[in-house]
Amino acid sequence: MGFADQRFNVNLSILFTELPLLERPAAAAAAGFTAVELWWPWIDTPTPEQSELDALRKAIEDAGVRLTGLNFYAGRLPGPDRGALSVPGEESERFRANIDVAAGFAQSLGCTALNALYGNRVEGVDPAEQDALALENLALAARAADRIGAILLIEALNKPESPLYPLVSAPAAVGVVDKVNAATGLDNARFLMDLYHLSMNGEDLPSVIEQYAARTGHVQIADNPGRGAPGTGSLPLEDLLEQLRKAGYEGYVGLEYKPGDRGSAESFDWLPAEQRAAR
């Protein structure tokens, strides 16, 4: 039950960051994991050199792990930006330039989930203008995802840590999912249910699961408070994941937590080695 029945992947943009990027896939494999996910690794550019893309692809393939999730370009992440697609001007253009690059990289590794962070509110810009731009760009992203047989993920963050990000509840994120699906007719947009962010917003997590499990394309976890490994805070993560499983969710659960002072490999002691390989 609980952890034993889950398919876990490791987010290599928050775990194993004590290592260079190209060494992280092998480190995840050495820790017993067979699946990984990534935020967009090149925070300064949406269109890195092909040699950089090839080097990361080779590192993932050589490690024998599967890339199961990838973010589109989202500005400085981790950092203050929290997305680019709804920011008028250069940032939204950078997002558009990234769409085919990210989708092509994902396709080359069999990755079938692409996450598009909505973007912060910008002072002096009408929120309605940003929302219209966001829908336009999300529709482009959804169509690119569809071309490679992938889903588009839309995520709620939390207001204390991302006060300018407008999607800070499950209903807000699912509402955007519905708008994207209506705009494209593809029905490939899904909710990214991050239990840490939702808990930071004070949401009733069992109720969120009950309402939105069927609309969920990916789940991410960290404990609260502290955004540490399961067991370092007070969230009943094992029970919540069991509820998700019973509600029919069969996708990956992304480990998106801060490892703390012990280092990443040691932070997985809550999860027996035989339960780390995705089945």
Active-site residue identified among 37, 91, 155, 203: 155
183-193 core/surface letters (b: 16 or more CB in 10 A; e: else)? ebeeebbbbbb
Question: Residue 101 carries which side chain, given as an amino acid letter?
Answer: V
- The catalytically annotated residue of 61, 256, 266, 274 is 256
CB 169 within 8 A of CB 201: yes
User: Which residues neighbour 67 within 8 Å (Cβ) at sequence distance 6 or greater?
Assistant: 35, 36, 37, 38, 60, 106, 109, 110, 111
Distance in angstroms (rounded) separating the CA atoms of residues 157 and 239: 22
The reply to whether 203 belongs to the active site is no
Q: Is residue 155 annotated as a catalytic residue, yes or no? A: yes
Q: Which residues contact 57 (CB under 8 A, 6 or more apart)?
A: 105, 108, 109
C-alpha 267/C-alpha 257 separation (Å) is 9
Name the residues annotated as catalytic: 155, 256
